[in-house]
Amino acid sequence: MPALAHIGLGFAAKKIVPTVNVVLLIVAAELIEIIFMTLWAIGIEHPPDAAAPPYSPYSHSILMGLVWSGLAAFIFFLVNRKLKISLLLGLLVLSHLVLDFIASPKSAFYPADTGLPWFSDYTATYGLGLWSNSMVAWFGEIGILLIGISIYIITVRKLHNNKNRILKYK
């Protein structure tokens, strides 16, 4: 499942913003996927399958990746009024586009995948195609997930130990 690396980045982001709930960080990293699933459920977009290339310009195009990132940062800022956290959440949304650019076309998972379009014109698509090799794709997905979880665990342990030290001296 080529969404594991995004989850890994959400976990790893806890190191940068330890006050933010990890669920929110993961949701930000997966927001583009959540938008895609919603649009797929209502029949607007669809993933690649054996017979057809993908159609996901409103979620997985380069233009909309930039739009969703900016919109997410703006909405988070309206809610929490914390610029650093809002920018980081917007960057997590943007990280989805960056990882997809590196990985796409993801032919190891989806043989009909063509890469990322600028918007809706799939005659020109973009991506480095790193996930075209099955071994690289699985090592990449699982590796980024495991590294992200490791960073999260180390960060949470440090936070817990610091909290205990502070309580001990009070």
pLDDT for residue 164: 66
pLDDT for residue 54: 87
Selected residue with higher pLDDT from 48 and 158: 158
DSSP class per residue in the chain: -TTHHHHHHHHHGGGT-TTS-HHHHHHHHHHHHHHHHHHHHTTS-B---SSS--B-HHHHSHHHHHHHHHHHHHHHHHHH--HHHHHHHHHHHHHHHHHHHHH-S-TTT-TT---EESSS-TTSEE---GGGSHHHHHHHHHHHHHHHHHHHHHHHHHHHHHHHHHHHT-
| pTM of the predicted structure, to 2 decimals | 0.90
Q: How many domains does the chain have?
A: 1
- Structural domain of 67: 4-168
